[in-house]
Amino acid sequence: MKALALALALALALALAACLSACAGVALPREQLTDPSALLFNGYTKPEVTCFKCHNGDAKGTMRGPSLEKKVATLSDSKLSDAIHKGAGFMPSFKDKLTDEEISAVIAWLHATFPKAPAP
């Protein structure tokens, strides 16, 4: 019985570990990216800035972080900037890892990536 419980616990731990890596987002190939903010978002510029791990390289989201498409369409730039500075929910703060200029550039890049749908 004890062995079974142990095996079960081990299987659970393995599944969890697998998810921690498998549920993570995937960076887009570097050669596809030209925008400095896209490179930053995809972890190619600063090793400690890995937005793609939670939001995926295309910013369309993973199990760990939402798609940013709706966020840029519905939140003001100051809300977006606030979230990146201070963190939001499970998202960590990036105020020590990004300059204000980098944060503004990432927001501009998100707007360019997801142009707002025209008003109905």
CB of 11 to ligand HEC, least distance (A): 26
Q: Which stretch binds ligand HEC (CB under 6 A): 1-9, 10-18, 27-35, 59-67?
A: 59-67
71 binds ligand HEC (CB under 6 A): yes
51 binds ligand HEC (CB under 6 A): yes
**Alpha-carbon distance 115 to 23, whole Å?**
27
66 binds ligand HEC (CB under 6 A): yes
Please check whether residue 110 is in contact with residue 59, taking contact to mean a CB–CB distance below 8 angstroms. yes
Nearest alpha carbon to residue 110 among 86, 87, 76, 64: 76
65 binds ligand HEC (CB under 6 A): yes
Cβ-count burial 33-64 (b if 16+ within 10 Å, e if not): beeebbbbbbbbeeeebbbbbbbbbbbebbeb
Q: Which of 28, 106, 109, 114 binds ligand HEC (CB under 6 A)?
A: 106
To which residue do tokens 């990146």 refer? 84
54 binds ligand HEC (CB under 6 A): yes
Binding site for ligand HEC (CB under 6 A): 49-51, 53-55, 64-66, 68, 71, 80, 83-84, 88-92, 94, 106
